[in-house]
Structure 1
Amino acid sequence: MLTAFKRIPRTLPLLAIALITAPASSSDAPPTVNIAAGTLSGIHDARTGLDEFKGIPYATPPVGPLRWKPPQPVATWTGTRQADRFGPRCMQSPIYSDMVFRSNGVSEDCLYLNVWTPAHGANAKLPVLVYFYGGGFSAGDGSEPRYDGASLAQRGIVTVTVNYRLDVFGFLALPELAAESPEHATGNYGLLDQNAALRWVKRNIAAFGGDPNQVTIGGESAGSMSVSAQMASPLSKGLMQRAIGESGAMLGNLKPRPRALAERQGKDFERQVGAHSLVQLRAMDAQALLKAADKKDVPEFRPTIDGYFLPRSPEAIYQAGEQAHIPLLVGSNSQEGYYTALLDDKTPTLANYHAAMNKQFGAHAAEALKLYPASNEAEVKASATTYEGDQFIAFATWRWMNVHRQTGQAPVYYYYFVQPRPAKRDGSAGPDAGSVHSGEIEYALGNLAGNTVFAWTDADHRVSDLMQDYWANFIKTGNPNGAGMPEWPATASKDGGLLRQVIGVDTHVTVDRNAARAEFLQRTDPNAHL
């Protein structure tokens, strides 16, 4: 199911990012907005011309008796609340070395969002992007500079980043929690947080100049998986009009846990920490719970088919055409995985490759080797890298694209991002061979300048400008195309494959013929019955 998320941090070289961000400059009179809960005071950035509002609460802090409860409406306040700095990030361990935060520490009190807007007043009716961060549902934060909303906001979009509960705090499932729930549901508190944020946007975004009826949801990795789940959930229908998924979906081999399994794992965890009741669990120190959840023998806390937010698996919902019928821009990168993971760091010989594929597929190994062929060391590296990328996240992304294309009654724009990051500025590493997992984020959101680890070239900036234009056009119209840009057709069958946009220095349309690989992985998935 989601074991790949546990494997990736240990097997892929996650690159540390050193980011230098200057404080926003403020005018004498900070911008203010009136929302349902009260008045907010933000920051006007004279360099960008944007108004920024950070650390806005969208729900009551989920602490004490509200731990493992669906998000509750935020309390109103009197006077003016300062929204000039990021709120705390949700409880998490520092497991990803490429995450840099501007947030105010770590806390269970973390249900905050951030808004960048080019509008200086209400009712401008600008399109809106709500972006969910990645991090395997175990880490991440809306303050990360790679998700900064300023660049897209300068293209006429009200941009929002959202914090949501993670790990054991976001996804613990227990029979006792279901028993106290009016909907008899348990787990998925992090996904319910995202839904609450979308409802907040629907109610309040006009005050920031956004159009509540022109909302695009987007995200990368676990954030992209979240987008696929929000589209599937009956609770979120009508809250978004378009969707962007960057590498990830809750279909294929990344489907959510069955509720019975999630509840068994929750009971095992309860016993491990020595708790005998919900009262005791809710009274436990948050850091102690997080430390216990991070032990190697504890299954990862992940989304669940809870019968409420997800009445059935997303796979079944999409196959039945019951998802939100909205345009989807979706794709993955050229190096989502790396051959060393499959070979367990052994030499990339044909013998080692065949042994590894036999271990993975057993009786299906011969078929796998036809789909991921190799006759020399270079081909072993290429095919093993392709397989690892598919198995990690590209296959699930393909599955989402293909099923929504068939049943979603809306255009799908499918991409393949190939631009490798350049050499590091300090000379410690050369350019990546391909576009690694998460490598597209700074390009798509316009945040290359905030990442000072890499020696970005003019070519990188050109690719970023084009990608931002595609993303911005899609957010505004549901179609990424625009004047003077390489044409990006909606996905459709052609010449035995599907049309797909290759995005990089040479951006062009190709015919993707990877359906056989995806169908093989679907058929041989050991968790296909779940």
Structure 2
Amino acid sequence: MCQTRDPPENMVKITRQLTASKGFVMTTRFRSLCLFLMLGVATPLFAQDNAPLVTTPQGKLIGEYASRNNRVSVFKGIPFAAPPVGQARWTPPQPAPGWTGERLATDFGPDCMQQPYPEGSFFYRPARVSSEDCLYLNVWTAAEENANKPVMVWFHGGALTRGSGAIDTYDGTELALKDVVLVTVNYRLGVFGYFAHPELIAESPNFSAGNYGILDQIQSLRWVQENIRAFGGDPSNVTIFGESAGAWSVHFLTASPLATGLFHKAIAQSGARMDTRVALDQQTSAGASASSSGTRLAELMGAADLAALRAMPARQLLDAAADHSFRTDGIVDGWVLPEQPFVQFSGGRQNPVPVLVGFNAEEGTTLGAGSSLPGTAAAYEERINAIYGDLADWVLEIYPSTDIRKSSLDSFRDSTFGWHMVTWANLTRHVQQPAYLYFFTHRPPGPMAQELGAYHASEIAYAFNTVHTLRNQPTAIDYRLGDVMSDYWVNFAHHGVPSAAGQPEWKPYSNAERNYLLIGAQISAEQNLLPDNWALFDRVMDRRR
């Protein structure tokens, strides 16, 4: 965006909030005028003709140039679905209406309703405005219209209860400079995105309820199919990617027949759902049915029926769900998720796309896995016996009591992340598509580097090549790794094969050749990542089904 002169930053912010957050549209007859807002004085805020403008099937959008590189145009807060408010709460998303004139797209939309991480939490960040009216996405592009560049669509993490597409680490500037169009997406979270109830099932023509967050993600992919050419993207070459709950989402989308044909490759960083999931209307080993849990929550909140639940103020509903420990997750409902993912993938009934999956060496250090360790070897062994029963001796062979902290962190990593990612890579053979496995071991810089290690989510800044957003000053090694790792990711989006110039060849994973890429300060092609660990958890997970 070209400013004719620099107004005070607070005035720019106020104006943008008055425009972008309320869906402001500039009519065509004002196209070459400036917007004024400063105590009645005629001070030009921006000259529209010097800002990036795209014409989409929805309407025209005025964006801005990326602050780090003006070769990249950024369009923020684009509605991809109608606001899911009022009677639309807990309904599948509907397409966003279009507009006439030109819509200002220079501010992120609100986050979806959520409670912030507690202050002092490792993942705490200052809260942004949140709202039920939150179904917006953001686009970074250095391409011309109809340039047919690969598209990468990012789904954020946060346990399906927190997060946003507006986080600095997800800035798409560097990936756009590597010849892709980058999209980040908001989707409904927590009780707004994953609540099921008998009355919702009854009103659904598909006899389904609860996967509204996944349906939002699917709607965002439909938006990409219909609109991304205007930003220079190729709708026939779309890669979805995400981390943690964003990777769960990628896994669910790979499982959902409703997403078939909307994407063509998938990257999942530290997250999949290969263990048994909650079902809509029957109990499983994962727990009570989603509909009975929803009924129980309504009773605890004193809501007599669905009408009362929909009339409840959003903040009241959010707080009540948190107070009553409402569980948020994808639901096997027979429509969005037709069957248990492990069963589906074992039978080759998932969407047949190449995948790139992996996990980090010390996932648990920032997730509480090291916070309540047994004080003695005997206490550790007692805990293992209580959890694993007659498999305890096998567990103790792999995770011995001689180093309680390391064994506890490693077993948490392998059961919560590693087994799921390796299993996904392995089962992709059933759809005759390649799978690429990685193991991220690089320790980001900082005074706690040795204690935290390659912690959960630490790889994101390297995949986005946004290492400047790390908590501590990056080193030359960090900048180099960000450049190389993002090359692997981008080339996978381009061609379906992850590669980086001058770096090791990343070979596909298979039962015969269990290849993986070790991503550390040095990158190397390896084989047979922790095979005994996966054999153990194959047995453990099989017993739990």
Q: Which TM-score applies when normalising by structure 1? A: 0.88
- Paired residues of 2:122 and 2:366 also in contact (CA < 8 A): no
Are 1:365 and 2:392 counterparts? yes
Are 1:31 and 2:78 counterparts? no
Residue of structure 2 in register with 1:386 after alignment: 410
Aligned-partner residue type, residue 502 of structure 1? L
Deviation at 1:345, TM superposition (A): 2.7
Aligned-partner residue type, residue 230 of structure 1? L
Residue of structure 1 in register with 2:24 after alignment: none
Deviation at 1:363, TM superposition (A): 2.5
Partner deviation per Cα, 1:426-482 (whole Å, 9 max, x = no partner): xxx45445211111001111111123x212111111111110111111111110124
Residue of structure 2 in register with 1:333 after alignment: 360
Is the deviation greater in 59-68 or in 334-343? Answer: 334-343
CA distance in 2, matches of 1:172, 1:71: 15
CA distance in 2, matches of 1:174, 1:163: 24
Residue of structure 1 in register with 2:255 after alignment: 232
SS of structure 2 residue aligned to 1:69: coil
Task: Choose from 55, 71, 78 the match for 2:77.
Answer: 55
Deviation at 1:380, TM superposition (A): 2.8
Deviation at 1:347, TM superposition (A): 5.6
- Paired residues of 1:102 and 1:145 also in contact (CA < 8 A): no
- Paired residues of 1:50 and 1:117 also in contact (CA < 8 A): yes
Residue of structure 1 in register with 2:338 after alignment: 311
Is the deviation greater in 509-518 or in 174-183? Answer: 509-518
Residue of structure 2 in register with 1:20 after alignment: none
SS of structure 1 residue aligned to 2:163: coil
- Paired residues of 1:421 and 1:432 also in contact (CA < 8 A): no
Aligned-partner residue type, residue 358 of structure 2? G
Task: Choose from 307, 331, 337 the match for 1:279.
Answer: 307
Deviation at 1:138, TM superposition (A): 0.5
Are 1:445 and 2:445 counterparts? no
CA distance in 2, matches of 1:409, 1:350: 46
CA distance in 1, matches of 2:382, 2:371: 11
Are 1:150 and 2:173 counterparts? yes
Residue of structure 2 in register with 1:4 after alignment: none
Are 1:528 and 2:519 counterparts? no
Partner deviation per Cα, 1:234-289 (whole Å, 9 max, x = no partner): 11111111110000012136x35454310010000010111111111000011111
Aligned-partner residue type, residue 507 of structure 1? I
Aligned-partner residue type, residue 383 of structure 1? S
Given the superposition, is the C-alpha separation of residues 284 and 339 from structure 1 closer, same or farther in structure 2, using an over 3 Å criterion? closer
Given the superposition, is the C-alpha separation of residues 158 and 118 from structure 1 closer, same or farther in structure 2, using an over 3 Å criterion? same
- Paired residues of 2:278 and 2:290 also in contact (CA < 8 A): no
Partner deviation per Cα, 1:64-102 (whole Å, 9 max, x = no partner): 000000001111211111111000000001126455779
Aligned-partner residue type, residue 461 of structure 2? E
CA distance in 1, matches of 2:180, 2:516: 26
Partner deviation per Cα, 1:377-431 (whole Å, 9 max, x = no partner): xx33322211011222222222212211x2131111100000011115xxxx454
CA distance in 2, matches of 1:269, 1:527: 30
CA distance in 2, matches of 1:446, 1:340: 24
Given the superposition, is the C-alpha separation of residues 387 and 156 from structure 1 closer, same or farther in structure 2, using an over 3 Å criterion? same
Deviation at 1:526, TM superposition (A): 8.6
SS of structure 2 residue aligned to 1:352: helix
For residues 246-265 of structure 1, the aligned pairs below 5 Å read 246-252=269-275, 255-260=277-282, 261-265=289-293
SS of structure 1 residue aligned to 2:469: coil
- Paired residues of 2:366 and 2:452 also in contact (CA < 8 A): no
CA distance in 2, matches of 1:346, 1:203: 51
Residue of structure 2 in register with 1:86 after alignment: 108
For residues 58-457 of structure 1, the aligned pairs below 5 Å read 58-95=80-117, 97-99=121-123, 105-119=129-143, 121-252=144-275, 255-260=277-282, 261-295=289-323, 297-338=324-365, 345-346=372-373, 349-374=376-401, 376=402, 379-404=403-428, 406-424=429-447, 429-451=448-470, 453-457=471-475
SS of structure 2 residue aligned to 1:397: helix
CA distance in 2, matches of 1:80, 1:519: 58
Question: RMSD in angstroms over aligned alpha carbons?
Answer: 2.4
Aligned-partner residue type, residue 520 of structure 1? L
Show structure 2 runs of 5+ residues with no match: 1-12, 17-44, 283-288
Aligned-partner residue type, residue 159 of structure 1? L
For residues 491-506 of structure 1, the aligned pairs below 5 Å read 491-493=509-511, 498-506=514-522
- Paired residues of 2:443 and 2:449 also in contact (CA < 8 A): no
- Paired residues of 1:129 and 1:218 also in contact (CA < 8 A): yes
Partner deviation per Cα, 1:337-361 (whole Å, 9 max, x = no partner): 2499567634654223212212221
Residue of structure 2 in register with 1:16 after alignment: none
CA distance in 2, matches of 1:474, 1:162: 20
Q: Specify the structure having the higher radius of gyration (Cα).
A: 2
Are 1:459 and 2:477 counterparts? yes
CA distance in 1, matches of 2:318, 2:127: 19
Partner deviation per Cα, 1:24-69 (whole Å, 9 max, x = no partner): 9988521111222211111123741111000000000000000000
SS of structure 2 residue aligned to 1:500: strand
Deviation at 1:175, TM superposition (A): 1.2
Aligned-partner residue type, residue 440 of structure 1? E
Show structure 1 runs of 5+ residues with no match: 1-22
Residue of structure 2 in register with 1:11 after alignment: none
CA distance in 1, matches of 2:110, 2:296: 30
Q: Which TM-score applies when normalising by structure 2? A: 0.86
Given the superposition, is the C-alpha separation of residues 340 and 476 from structure 1 closer, same or farther in structure 2, using an over 3 Å criterion? closer
Partner deviation per Cα, 1:145-190 (whole Å, 9 max, x = no partner): 1111111111011000000000000000111101111111111000
Is the deviation greater in 158-167 or in 38-47? Answer: 38-47
CA distance in 1, matches of 2:68, 2:442: 29
Aligned-partner residue type, residue 129 of structure 2? G
| Greater RCO (Cα-Cα under 8 Å, separation 6 or more) | 1
Residue of structure 2 in register with 1:478 after alignment: 496
CA distance in 1, matches of 2:528, 2:83: 46
Aligned-partner residue type, residue 90 of structure 2? W
- Paired residues of 1:87 and 1:112 also in contact (CA < 8 A): yes
Is the deviation greater in 513-522 or in 281-290? Answer: 513-522
Aligned-partner residue type, residue 464 of structure 2? L
Residue of structure 2 in register with 1:3 after alignment: none
Deviation at 1:218, TM superposition (A): 0.2
Aligned-partner residue type, residue 442 of structure 1? A
Deviation at 1:316, TM superposition (A): 1.7
- Paired residues of 1:26 and 1:45 also in contact (CA < 8 A): no
Partner deviation per Cα, 1:102-152 (whole Å, 9 max, x = no partner): 996100000000000001x31000000000000000000000111111111
- Paired residues of 1:99 and 1:144 also in contact (CA < 8 A): no
CA distance in 1, matches of 2:374, 2:202: 53
Task: Choose from 524, 529, 540 the match for 1:508.
Answer: 524
- Paired residues of 2:80 and 2:95 also in contact (CA < 8 A): yes
- Paired residues of 2:426 and 2:510 also in contact (CA < 8 A): no
